[in-house]
């Protein structure tokens, strides 16, 4: 289970996370908040992309400060702009590159790549340049490239921000069908309807923690007061 | 959008030929053209290179795309040789250069980057003893290829923004926004590499 204990972080003099303590045990957790509320930094602390100035983030016995490599293999991360996440020239190669770290062998690697391409509807694009895919397909490629490594947890930082309604729904359906724990940071409140737990962030703090039916009205009221 | 250096799926014998064999053939073709320095041979090689494109299922416009970037150099070399040597030398040098670029492009278009990187890793493996990391070098090469369309996209985006504001001319004004955008892309790609645990793998 991901656990945050007294996590605080600043960029220069600007505090972006203030004493955040959380146990993230539920299968599907949403995080909402205004721009600048600390969501992206919090997301990045979960797989060690950001190591907090104070406090600690752990997954089981692993600590992001000392075991970032182990944690990154268990906590997959999807960014809002999938285009920047595409590393290799073609779709199949991009899915495959993440598996290299696992040293699975040629056959097992090929099998997993094939399976991921079919599962995420990318098998017709295997040899196409990833950067020429549509926005939705790029985000599916980003998801496939991360999920092919079979992480325990998937952290998504605003994965639908750049997508239209159809592609947003496609990503939503994909996230819906995952066995992994999903921690979704989003502005898209509709995605959270059937989530188990939603956190509301404001000024670097978690100001509400509950079910979507209560969290979304709380967030809306918070924004109305601004 | 740049299409240079991108694999085109296909089932031709050339697609199925291992990357190493194709690169070796390219090397031998280059050596042969230099050793057998004759304008008729060079012209024949150029014609053969052009014929190979449709023969392996690639449209001739792919050959034209490769030559289009080359023509100012061909023109300059040709004119220089005609003025200071003779037309046979001009023809030979231009045909040699064009033939080799077309053949190299053909290798790229029929070889997956992954195959090329695997070959490269095998070739530089002995350098491990000197402290080199073949995985990391291969990753750098892959990112370099990947960055070609990224750079083109950054330039196009900056140009569109410039035009959308009713501005024209003075293309040097695009340099700073393009560099800023490329640096941001590089930063994001670096973060993605770390997030996917790829950098740690290549360090070991």
Q: Report the pLDDT value the prediction gives residue B2, as an integer from 0 to 100.
A: 43
**Interchain proximity B193–A81, CB inside 8 Å:** no
- Rounded to a whole number of angstroms, the distance from the CA of A220 to the nearest CA of chain B is 31
Torsion angle (degrees, nearest 10) of CA A66, A151, A209, A19? 10
Same domain, B22 and B86: yes
Evaluate whether residue B53 is within a structural domain. Answer: yes
Based on the fold, state whether residues B98 and B135 are members of the same structural domain. Answer: no
**Most B CBs within 10 Å, among A45, A93, A125, to test the B interface:** A93
Tell me if A207 sits within 8 A of A40, measured CB to CB: no
Number of domains in chain A: 1
Whether A129 sits inside 8 A of B149 (CB atoms) is yes
Whole-number pLDDT of residue B200: 60
Inside any domain, residue B192: yes
**Residue ranges for chain B with pLDDT beneath 70:** 1-5, 199-204
Is B92 in the same domain as B156?
Answer: no
* Site of tokens 């079979």: A150
Mark which of B54, B87, B111 sits at the end of a domain.
B111
User: Which residues does chain B have within 8 Å of residue A49's beta carbon, measured at their own beta carbons?
Assistant: 191, 194-195
Cα separation, A132 vs A83, whole angstroms: 9
- DSSP string covering A84-142, please? GG--SSBHHHHHHHGGGGGT--HHHHHHHHHHHHHHTT-GGGTTSBGGGS-HHHHHHHH
Query: Where a domain ends, among B84, B111, B138?
Result: B111
Asked, for residue A171, whether it belongs to a domain, the answer is yes
Is residue B86 located within the same domain as residue B128?
A: no
What is the reported pLDDT for A6?
A: 95
A192 within some domain: yes
- Tell me if B102 is assigned to some domain: yes
| Integer Rg of chain A from CA | 18
Phi/psi at A154 (5° precision): -120, 120
Query: Residue A146 falls within a domain, yes or no?
Result: no
Residues in CB range of B151: below 8 A, 6 or more apart: B178, B182
In a domain, A114, yes or no: no
For residue B3, tell me if it sits in a domain: no
Task: Tell whether B21 and B40 lie within a shared domain.
Answer: yes
> How many Å apart are CA B18 and CA B202, to the nearest integer?
25
Q: What is the dihedral of CA B26, B31, B37, B38, to 10 degrees?
A: -30
Decide if B2 is inside a domain: no
Q: Which of B60, B78, B111 is the last residue of a domain?
A: B111
**Total-model pTM:** 0.74
Q: In terms of domains, do B104 and B124 share one?
A: no
* Whether the Cβ atoms of residue B95 and residue B45 lie closer than 8 Å to each other: yes
Q: Can you tell me the distance from the alpha carbon of A98 to that of A148, in angstroms, rounded to the nearest whole number?
A: 8
Q: Number of helices (H) and strands (E) in chain B: give both, helices first.
A: 10, 0
Distance separating alpha carbons of residues B99 and A154, to the nearest angstrom:
50
In a domain, B6, yes or no: no
Q: Residue-wise over B20-37: b if at least 16 C-beta within 10 A, else e?
A: eebbeeeeebeeebeeee
Q: Return the pLDDT at B191.
A: 86
Within a domain: A62: yes
Contact partners, residue B66, CB within 8 Å, separation at least 6: B4, B101, B102, B105
B107 and B123 in a common domain: no
Out of B6, B112, B143, name the one closest to residue A87 (CB). Answer: B143
- Chain A interface mutation, best of B57, B197, B198, highest count of A Cβ atoms under 10 Å: B197
Residues B181 and B97 both lie in one domain: no
Determine contact, residues B77/B97, Cβ cutoff 8 Å: yes
Residue A132 with chain B: CB contacts under 8 Å:
1, 149
Q: Which residues of A touch B (CB under 8 A)?
A: 47, 49, 69, 72-73, 76-77, 79, 81, 84-90, 92-93, 96-98, 100-101, 126-127, 129, 131-132, 145-146, 149
- ipTM above threshold 0.90: no
Does B101 lie in the same domain as B58? yes
Domain count, chain B: 2
CA angle at B131 for the pair B125 and B136, rounded to the nearest 5° = 65
- Closest chain B residue by Cα to residue A44: B195
Contact A93, B113 (CB under 8 A): yes
Q: How many residues does chain A have?
A: 226
The answer as to whether B34 is a domain residue is yes
**B187 in Cβ contact with B120 (< 8 Å):** no
Domain assignment present for residue A133? The answer is no
- Residues of B within 8 A of A84 (CB-CB) are 185, 188-189, 191-192
Q: What is the pLDDT of residue A58?
A: 96
Does one domain contain both B105 and B62? yes
Residues A73-105: tens digit of each pLDDT: 899 999 888 887 888 888 998 898 888 777 788
Distance CA A82, CA A135 (A): 8
Å between A3 CA and nearest CA of chain B: 19
In a domain, B4, yes or no: no
Task: Report if residue A41 sits inside a domain.
Answer: yes
Tokens of A64: 């992001």
Distance CA B17, CA A167 (A): 39
Residue B51 domain boundaries = 13-111
A138 within some domain: no
Coil, helix or strand at residue A22: strand
Whether A87 sits inside 8 A of B198 (CB atoms) is yes
A-B contacts (CB, under 8 Å):
93
pLDDT for residue B4: 45
**Domain extent for A190:** 2-87+154-224
Distance between CA B162 and CA B167 in Å, rounded?
6
Phi, psi of B73 (to 5 degrees): -70, -40
Instruction: Output the domain CATH number for residue A178.
Output: 3.40.50.300
User: Which parts of chain A are beta strand (E)?
Assistant: 2-11, 14-24, 28-33, 54-59, 62-63, 75-78, 153-157, 181-185, 197-202, 205-210
Q: Which residues of chain A have pLDDT under 50?
A: none
The predicted structure's pLDDT at residue B199: 62
To the nearest whole angstrom, how far is the Cα of B150 from the nearest Cα of chain A? 8
Closest by alpha carbon to B112, among B2, B1, B18, B13? Answer: B18
- Tokens found for residue A217: 């009205």
Same domain, B102 and B137: no
d(CA A96, CA A100): 7
Predicted local confidence at residue B90, as pLDDT: 95
Same domain for B44 and B65, yes or no, is: yes
């Amino acid at each position: 289970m991901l656990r945050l204990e007294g996590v605080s972080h600043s960029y220069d003099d600007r505090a972006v996370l203030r004493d955040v303590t959380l146990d993230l045990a539920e299968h599907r957790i949403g995080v909402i908040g205004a721009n600048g509320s600390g969501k992206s930094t919090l997301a990045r602390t979960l797989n060690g992309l950001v190591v907090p100035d104070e406090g600690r983030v752990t997954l089981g016995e692993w600590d992001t400060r000392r075991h970032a490599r182990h944690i990154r293999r268990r906590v997959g991360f999807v960014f809002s702009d999938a285009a920047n996440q595409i590393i290799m020239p073609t779709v199949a190669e991009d899915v495959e590159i993440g598996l290299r770290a696992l040293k699975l062998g040629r056959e097992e690697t090929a099998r997993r790549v094939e399976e991921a391409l079919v599962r995420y509807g990318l098998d017709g694009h295997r040899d196409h340049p990833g950067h020429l895919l549509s926005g939705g397909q790029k985000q599916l490629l980003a998801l496939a490239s991360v999920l092919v490594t079979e992480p325990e947890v998937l952290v998504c930082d605003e994965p639908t921000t750049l997508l239209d309604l159809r592609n947003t729904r496609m990503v939503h359906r994909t996230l819906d069908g995952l066995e992994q724990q999903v921690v979704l940071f989003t502005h898209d409140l509709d995605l959270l309807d059937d989530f188990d737990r939603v956190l509301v962030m404001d000024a670097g703090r978690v100001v509400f923690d509950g079910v979507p039916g209560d969290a979304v009205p709380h967030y809306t009221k918070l924004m109305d007061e601004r | 959008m740049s299409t240079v250096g991108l694999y085109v799926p296909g089932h031709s014998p050339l697609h199925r030929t291992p990357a190493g064999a194709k690169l070796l053939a390219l090397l031998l073709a280059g050596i042969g053209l230099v050793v057998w320095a004759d304008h008729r041979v060079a012209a024949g090689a150029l014609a053969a290179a052009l014929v190979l494109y449709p023969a392996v299922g690639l449209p001739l416009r792919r050959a034209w795309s490769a030559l289009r970037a080359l023509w100012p150099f061909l023109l300059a070399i040709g004119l220089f040789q005609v003025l200071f040597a003779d037309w046979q030398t001009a023809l030979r040098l231009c045909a040699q250069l064009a033939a080799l670029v077309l053949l190299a492009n053909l290798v790229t278009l029929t070889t997956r980057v992954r195959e090329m990187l695997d070959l490269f890793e095998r070739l530089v493996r002995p350098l491990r003893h000197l402290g080199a990391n073949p995985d990391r070098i291969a990753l750098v090469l892959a990112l370099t290829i990947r960055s070609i369309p990224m750079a083109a996209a950054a330039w196009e985006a900056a140009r569109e923004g410039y035009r959308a504001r009713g501005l024209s001319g003075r293309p040097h004004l695009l340099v700073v926004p393009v560099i800023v955008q490329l640096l941001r892309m590089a930063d994001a790609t670096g973060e993605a590499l770390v997030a996917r645990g790829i950098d740690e793998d290549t360090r070991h």
